[in-house]
Amino acid sequence: MQTNRTLTLKNMNNSAFLFGPRQAGKTWLLKNTVNYNLYIDLLDEKERQRYLKNPGILFSEVSALNKQNAIIIIDEIQKVPDLLNEVHRMIESKVKNRFILTGSSARKLKRNQANMLGGRAVTYNLFPFSYFETKDVFMFNSYLQFGGIPNVFFAEDDETKKLLLESYVTTYLKEEIFDEALTRNLPAFSRFLDFAGFENGNIINYSNIAREVGISSKTIKEYFNILIDTLIGFYLPPFLKSHRKKIISHPKFYFVDTGIAFALKKLLSIELTEGSPIFGDAF
pLDDT in tens, 55-99: 999 999 999 998 888 999 999 988 888 898 898 888 887 777 899
Percent share of the chain, pLDDT over 70: 90
Summarize the confidence of residues 144-166 as an average pLDDT.
95
Closest CA to 229 of 56, 87, 103: 103
Task: Give the separation between CA 58 and CA 35, rounded to whole angstroms.
Answer: 19
Summarised one tens digit per residue, pLDDT across range 175-189 is: 777 766 567 788 888
Q: What is the pLDDT of residue 261?
A: 94
Rounded mean pLDDT of 2-13? 80
* Mean of all residue pLDDT scores within the chain: 87
CA nearest to 87, candidates 50, 119, 62, 53 = 62
Q: Kindly give, in sequence order, each residue whose CB lies less than 8 Å from that of residue 217, ignoring residues fewer than 6 positions away.
A: 206, 207, 209, 210
Measured between alpha carbons, how far is 123 from 32 in angstroms, rounded to an integer?
A: 20
Domains of the chain (ranges; CATH) run: 15-125 (3.40.50.300), 139-282 (no CATH)
- The residue-averaged pLDDT of 111-118 equals 63
CA distance 275 to 160: 26
- Residue 248 pLDDT more than 80? no
CA atoms within 13 A on the CB side of 136: 6
175 contacts: CB under 8 Å, gap ≥ 6: 22
pTM of the model: 0.84
> What sections of the chain are H helices per DSSP?
26-33, 45-53, 57-65, 83-91, 107-111, 131-134, 140-146, 150-153, 158-171, 186-196, 206-213, 217-229, 243-248, 258-265, 277-282
Instruction: Give the 3-state secondary structure of 61-95.
Output: HHHHHCCCCCEEEEECHHHCCCHHHHHHHHHCCCC
